[in-house]
Structure 1
């Protein structure tokens, strides 16, 4: 019997019930078992009753991890995990019945100890048309020209627990975001390969407060700051990193101006430019934006 712990962090989000219900519908391969760990990041255990009710039928472990810091919640999940493999998804995502099977199949076929899946954003009819056309909320890994993936995310991932060797999510990044990028980048630098399972799709509804260009720009800027800190830790030269990012940012600015007639295109170029601007800002010492409270 092969066991998987599915980890889920939650903070005052009723949608966690739908996430748990989708996990209860997973169709697992013969000989594979699943336990769900839910870490409640609220000051009070506000999600406890909702989680226990929605998780009926699941093998469920609820833990209260107060701090309003996502790294604290993620680390509580790691501390509670006992299975050989751990999967993470978010509390606003819904998994099809084949999700976990697809991640596990790719892990077995590739031998990679870390497997990422994509997240497809769902846009309501009341949101701007450009938002769906630009599709800046969906998540996929950045795959380099040689086919390698050198970082990851926690919204759709399966990894072997034995590769951690005490590694935990950085609490200092738990209120800025980017804690998962840094976590998986460290694992990659330790020599652990990352694979991609294109068919391990999750779906996430985009809420109105995130359906704004300002929010997308801020997130991209902070992503650039995270990228810069990761590259600096890997030994990149500051001047070279800032020069490359500055040139790419200028190119994105030109692309935004050239495509001003197209709502999706200029916004997409502007958001990409914000990422490069964040890289330059981090190299110059600007403190990371705090996206979460």
Structure 2
């Protein structure tokens, strides 16, 4: 069977070491024909800070490397800019804090063909540096993605990092990501939610796993609990942006959120008093519940798209 053309996309913003690690991991892929691959790196810094690094990486790559500078801040802007330049029938996304083992892309493509999937997701394994000891188990869990032990179809979806998308299945083949999520993230959730309602097939490939190495500044409860709160906002926000808005769905998620915030908040408080190792895990659940309840404008938290010095 002829291998389809695949565009590998890595969005980046002022994270040159991570970008180099992620890009070089795509160069080492086995079981795929490099003649059918290209790498598109989109630099979402206001200044083209990754250009020299990408040029150096291109010199050692076994396939074309395309540099895209998208100065307008925002994660959706970055992904869309890369999509507009990519030429592949399939798009494989890797984040600039991820590292793919040699069989990663082959496993994604095999699952896509086996299940005739529109999107394939793989596991993510969080990896904290050795010096991180406080809440280490929770932090590595937070930056991981778990799923079924066996390959198969899914009735839900995950995030864009470590995924393979069939371009022909996208609602817009060049700008599928919504700009309304530029600064808070979740642009991938919106896209996959639209695709799911349109009947898209999602698949899981357990062999297509990647490492995730979060930057040191993110390995704190301040960061992860704020992100958990933002993740919790997702279901309520998704109901709100439907046309017409799903008001019953919003109410349902808000009620669920209140219950989760109260119950898990109380348990987390007791666990902190007793020094339980589960404290961070429970606090995370409480934050996600609170996010379902407080999901509208003033409570949105910007994680992406900030200009240098902002």
Q: Alignment RMSD, CA only?
A: 2.2
Q: Which runs of 5+ in 2 are unaligned?
A: none
The question of 1:275 aligning with 2:307 is answered: no
Q: How many residues align?
A: 289
Task: Tell me how far apart the structure 1 counterparts of residues 288 and 217 of structure 2 sit (CA, whole Å).
Answer: 20
Instruction: Tell me the residue number matched to 2:83.
Output: 78
2:236 partner SS = helix
Structure 1: gaps of 5 or more residues: none
C-alpha distance in 2 between matches for 1:149 and 1:128:
36
The answer for the alignment partner of 2:259 in structure 1 is 247
Per-residue CA deviations over 1:205-260 (Å, capped at 9, x if unaligned) read 23221111111111011111222111344534332221112112222223324433
Q: Using a 3 Å threshold, how does the CA distance of structure 1 residues 30 and 47 change in structure 2: closer, same or farther?
A: closer
Deviations 1:164-210 (A, max 9, x none): 13152122211111111112111111110211111111112232211
Distance 2:218 2:270 in 1: 26
Cα deviation for residue 270 of structure 1 reads: 0.5
Give the distance between the partners of 2:188 and 2:171, measured in 1 at CA: 16
- Report the Cα distance in structure 1 between the residues aligned to 2:280 and 2:42, rounded to whole angstroms: 36
The match for 2:130 among 93, 107, 125 is 125
5 Å-filtered alignment, 1:31-46, equals 33-46=36-49
Q: Which residue in the other structure is 2:271 paired with?
A: 259
Of residues 20, 23, 29, the one that matches 1:20 is 23
Tell me: CA distance 1:59–1:75, structure 2 relative to 1, closer, same or farther (3 Å).
same
Contact 1:6 1:86 in 2 (8 A): yes
TM-score (norm 1): 0.91
* Between 80-89 and 257-266, the greater mean CA deviation after superposition: 257-266
Q: Distance in 2 between matches of 1:268 and 1:5?
A: 36
What is the aligned partner in structure 2 of residue 135 from structure 1? 140
> Shift in Å at residue 31 of structure 1?
9.0
Cα distance in 2 between the residues matched to 1:100 and 1:193: 19
